[in-house]
Amino acid sequence: MSGDPLIPITDQDDLAAACERLAEGSFLCVDTEFHRETTYWPELCLIQASCEDYEVMIDPMSDDLDIGPFLQLLADPTRPKVFHAARQDIEIFNRLIGYPPAPVFDTQIAAMALGIGDSVSYDNLIQRILKRRIDKSSQFTDWKRRPLTEKQLVYALGDVTHLRDAYVKMVARLEEQGRLEWVEAEMADLTDPAVYDTSPENAWKRLKIRKPQKDYTSIFASVAAWREEKAQALNKPRRRILKDDAIQEIAGQKPQSENAFDRLRAVPKGFIRSKYADGLMDAIRVAIEDPDAYAPKLPKRQQNPEMPAGAPEMLKVLLKAVSEEANVVPRLIANAADVERLARGETGDDIAAMKGWRYELFGKKALALLSGKLALSFQDGQVRLFEL
């Protein structure tokens, strides 16, 4: 086996030996380079991996290489898989393995609990944690091209060597501050198979339904499923088949002829006669003929209680003050939906801010503020909290 980590593995025996080395580590750092600008399925171009004292790159584009041994390593639940902004990488491996690899540690999420920033970029994270600057000149490399230059490979491998060092330091800080459990639930959400569901029958869930009427939602769901099937079959991005706004307009206008289609604003003129539109008219027709069979079951709309004037704004000020004091990104404590529901007087267990450490840090104070037992004031340009 080549001992040079800058030479991506293309040999099956070398891959087996590399996976044995990686399996000796207590964690596995992973990054990928891929393309999907013109495809539905991501095209995996390069895999980078590291553990405590070893790093390697794998060339999944090699005709003679089966990356199965590495996928088995990813599927092993005994060690954390470390990513930065993990979702797209996990999406790739979810398809290859059949389920999301777990457990996962996402340094972007962990950065929120350490007050480093919300959706912090990788290079910014490395600069903040390790005081290192990353040369980003190879950031927009065409990773499908072969051979890759040494500069490109150095850049790619750095994604997991820096990540390894940052992970070790971040875990130590989180444990020292008692915040490791703060991010575990957020990271667990990344391994929920529903997040990566590409089944056509559920395609409508990615879109915003504007009308609850069955004659609208049946066409909406049927056309969304048709687009998903077409995009997968042709391996084209959804938007290249039909844009989201077009699905909304089709569901609203219910076109059943070529002329009716040509009058739609969000659908390109002549689209219904193109090869991409094969089957679309049928998807509309069957939904119109049998809306009960195609309309998705939507949750009943609840009448929201009246919101006290100024309550959301006061809660946002409180959240900002609490997050600054704790040095945590506000969104990790409560999102906008949580704040709005609390402002309406809701206190259900399905509100994240009302459970665990979030409740102790913010939820309890939010209830006190809304009940008049806590007041906000400004002193020397700072928000102050006063119990009443």
pLDDT tens-digit readout, 265-292: 999 999 999 989 999 999 999 999 999 9
What is the average pLDDT across 141-164? 95
1 pLDDT tier (thresholds 50, 70, 90): very low
Residue 3 scores a pLDDT above 60: no
Confidence (pLDDT) at 303:
60
304 pLDDT tier (thresholds 50, 70, 90): low
**Low-confidence winner among 104-113, 180-189, 209-218, 312-321 (lowest mean pLDDT):** 180-189
Confidence (pLDDT) at 251:
97
Confidence (pLDDT) at 300:
75
pLDDT in tens, 21-60: 999 999 999 999 999 999 999 999 999 999 999 999 999 9
Residue 211 scores a pLDDT above 80: yes
d(CA 189, CA 376): 34
Query: What type of residue sits at position 131?
Result: K
Instruction: Tell how far CA 142 is from the center of its chain.
Output: 23
What is the average pLDDT across 256-262? 94
**What domains does the chain contain, in order, with CATH numbers?**
12-196 (3.30.420.10), 200-294 (1.10.150.80), 311-387 (1.10.150)
pTM: 0.90
Helices then strands, each counted (H, E), the chain: 18, 7
Q: Is residue 342 within 8 Å of residue 356, measured between CB atoms?
A: no
What is the average pLDDT across 84-106? 97
What is the average pLDDT across 67-91? 97
Confidence (pLDDT) at 350:
87
Higher pLDDT, 258 or 305: 258
The mean pLDDT value of the chain amounts to 93
Q: Is residue 250 within 8 Å of residue 219, measured between CB atoms?
A: yes
b/e per residue 92-108 (b: at least 16 CB within 10 A): bbbeeeeebbbebbbbb
